[in-house]
């Protein structure tokens, strides 16, 4: 007999932007840095818990901040 898989649990994380009712902005550098890895890559929503809508807007905001030299493209090692 096959064993039953446990039921899939819904996400326990809530989107930080939905919770605070704010949108990701390129000018808010400190908040954007929270969503970057040690190598300055944008972390996935799987790790951050950001919803799809805000993940897309977060990516655009990070790219704009990088273009304006507010956030580095990569880290120097």
Q: Please provide the CATH number assigned to the domain covering 17-67.
A: 4.10.640.10
The pLDDT of residue 43: 93
> Token digits for 39?
């190598």
CA–CA gap between residue 26 and residue 70 (Å, rounded): 9
User: What are the domain boundaries of the chain?
Assistant: 17-67
pLDDT digits (tens, 9 = 90+) for 7-50: 655 555 789 999 999 999 999 999 999 999 989 999 998 888 99
Closest to 71 (Cα-Cα) out of 27, 19, 18: 27
Contact 46, 15 (CB under 8 A): no
Eight-state DSSP code of residue 73:
S
């Amino acid at each position: 007999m096959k064993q039953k898989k446990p039921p899939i649990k819904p996400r326990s994380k809530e989107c930080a932007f939905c919770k605070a009712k704010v949108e990701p902005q390129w000018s808010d550098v400190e908040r954007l840095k929270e969503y970057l890895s040690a190598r300055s890559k944008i972390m996935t929503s799987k790790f951050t818990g950001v919803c799809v809508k805000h993940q897309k807007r977060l990516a655009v905001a990070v790219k704009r901040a990088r273009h304006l030299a507010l956030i580095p493209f990569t880290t120097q090692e």
